[in-house]
Amino acid sequence: MADRASDNDILVSEVGPRDGLQSIAAVMPTAAKKAWIAAEAAAGVREIEVGSFVPAKLLPQLADTAEIVAYAKTIPGLAVAVLVPNARGAAAAIEAGADKITLPLSVSETHSLANLRRTHDQVIAEAQAIGTMIAALPPEQRPHFEGSLSTVFGCTLEGPIPDAQIARLAAALMDAGCDEVGLSDTTGYADPSAVRHMIRLVRGVVGDAALTGIHLHNTRGLGLANALAALDCGLTTLDASLGGIGGCPFAPGASGNIVTEDLVFMLEAMGLRTGIDIDALLAVREIVTAALPDEQMFGFLPDAKLPLGFTPAAMRRAA
């Protein structure tokens, strides 16, 4: 897979083509998806979650995921990530050549049943099957395998989830063969203190190296504050969605990924190198709005523009 760290301090992982597109009714044409992915990669985005291997009848918006993965793999230096709901999806992802596979495990069993229609034990069994499948591959063909702890900051159906349950599920994912676990604020319930607490809790179980990333929503406006808390704890991979499109259609009122443009601005303003050219990133919005004319795009930076005299992180380092 592509070098996910490279010279940069922070990996901004774009999830719009998966999380964004699965949350809206419109189906983006395959050619537009390719143009979007190519433009974001050209702007310096090093990892993009390009789709999900789910049955087309469930998510027709992502029915072209195999073709999109094949296309994205032709872009030099891009880590191509996909979501999979189960081992069958993982097999398809491996066949397509994905660099990274993410299996969500909702720590709220109620949400897991509503979302994936599976109990915790059933999801862990899928993780084990995926782990076994990956271990059987030659090392150079193995995708990075992440188990994503979703609804980890609370569930719209159950409320807060006990720490012990989260710790147990994180350990079970690692035992099943995951390379790492991620934290996902599916419901937009996180706050900075909860982010810090959860990182400490889960790292205590899986080790620091096996928790590097977080998926945050901006449902209650705290998305970037939560990102800052995660950065302060040493996380280095932050998911975001161009224009903030997307969220979780199964968690009522929980829409709204953090906005890639605003996140990259915050990071670069802080002197953290993302490798992303902000002006080029902002220009990608035109591709998405042209392909999805009826969808609302979010973000503050696109209207406010960069501050006068703004200096990207890499130029500060060079100065």
Q: Enumerate binding residues for a second copy (CB under 8 A).
A: 154-160, 187-189, 191-194, 218-222, 224-225, 227-229, 232, 253-254, 256, 259, 262, 265-266, 269-271, 299-301, 303-305, 307-309
Nearest 10 degrees: Cα torsion 251, 233, 143, 150: -20
Q: How far is the CB of 238 from a second copy (least distance, A)?
A: 12
What is the rounded CA–CA span in Å between residue 85 and residue 125? 12
Nearer to a second copy, 61 or 156 (CB): 156
Nearer to a second copy, 130 or 278 (CB): 278
Q: How far is the CB of 196 from a second copy (least distance, A)?
A: 9
Nearer to a second copy, 308 or 318 (CB): 308
275 dihedral zone (left: phi>0; alpha: psi -120 to 50; beta):
left
Q: What is the number of other CB atoms lying within 10 angstroms of the CB of residue 37?
A: 25
248 is catalytic: yes
With b for 16 or more beta-carbon neighbours within 10 A and e for fewer, the 50-82 pattern comes to: bbbbbeeeebebbbbbbebbebbbebeebbbbb
Q: How far is the CB of 56 from a second copy (least distance, A)?
A: 31
CA distances from 223 to 191, 246, 272, 275, 287 (A): 8, 14, 18, 21, 24
Beta bridge partners of 299: none
Nearer to a second copy, 145 or 189 (CB): 189
Q: How far is the CB of 266 from a second copy (least distance, A)?
A: 5
Q: Which residues are catalytic?
A: 248
